[in-house]
Amino acid sequence: MALEKNAHLQELKELFPYALLTDDFGILNKDDLKMNQCIAEPSLFSENSSTFYPYWQCFEIKDAKIVCEGKKYSTEEKSQMTMLVISGTRNNELNEFISRRPMKLKTCHLYLRDWARFTKNEKHVCVSGDFIDSEINKADLKKRSWIFDRYKTKKGCDAYFRGTCVPNENAKEFCVMD
């Protein structure tokens, strides 16, 4: 089993050397990492520059959460608006994956519902996002900010842009999948 796990991870890292920042715990597959190449040109991760290339990293479920942060009424949308934030802590570093723009509170609650379903009884969750920046907070905890793209467990996947979890006809419009 350990050899299979190592072979799986080694294959992913050989095919997609920049896509995965941590162990994937057997959650991700080639299509998950290939989809990131459809979004932007792969590049080596660096905290010195933001990039449009989304990187995957995985967290223990006990160290990850999802929230609808803040609430403000939008007269334009005629609805309560909020920001979706997925956070994961690993090695004393906080990673926050933030929605691209405010969303309706009802929509955010759908993400919460799906998160509960996909993470129930799971040990790990993998999250993909574009790096924004990093800082050291008051508690001397390093915090990295990312733009949320997708998350996945062994039970399923959810994404900011519908249709990007599973390569399908929508994905083929902007990416040639092998």
The DSSP secondary structure of 34-90, one letter per residue, reads: HHHHHHS------TTS--SSEEEEEEEGGGEEEEEEEEEEETTTTEEEEEEEEEEEE
Judge whether residue 82 has pLDDT over 90.
yes
> Between these two residues, 119 and 164, which has the higher pLDDT value?
119
Conformation bin of residue 115: beta by default, left when phi > 0, alpha when psi is -120 to 50: alpha
Q: No. of H helices and E strands in the chain?
A: 4, 8
Number of domains in the chain: 1
Tell me the residue range of the domain where 110 lies.
Answer: 2-174
Take residue 68 and report the two structure tokens written for it: 């609808």
Give how far Cα 176 sits from Cα of 11, 37, 64, Å. Answer: 20, 10, 32
Judge whether residue 122 has pLDDT over 80.
yes
Q: Are 144 and 57 in contact (CB under 8 A)?
A: no
Does the predicted TM-score (pTM) go above 0.85? yes
pLDDT at 54: 93
Judge whether residue 43 has pLDDT over 80.
yes
In one letter, which amino acid is 150?
R
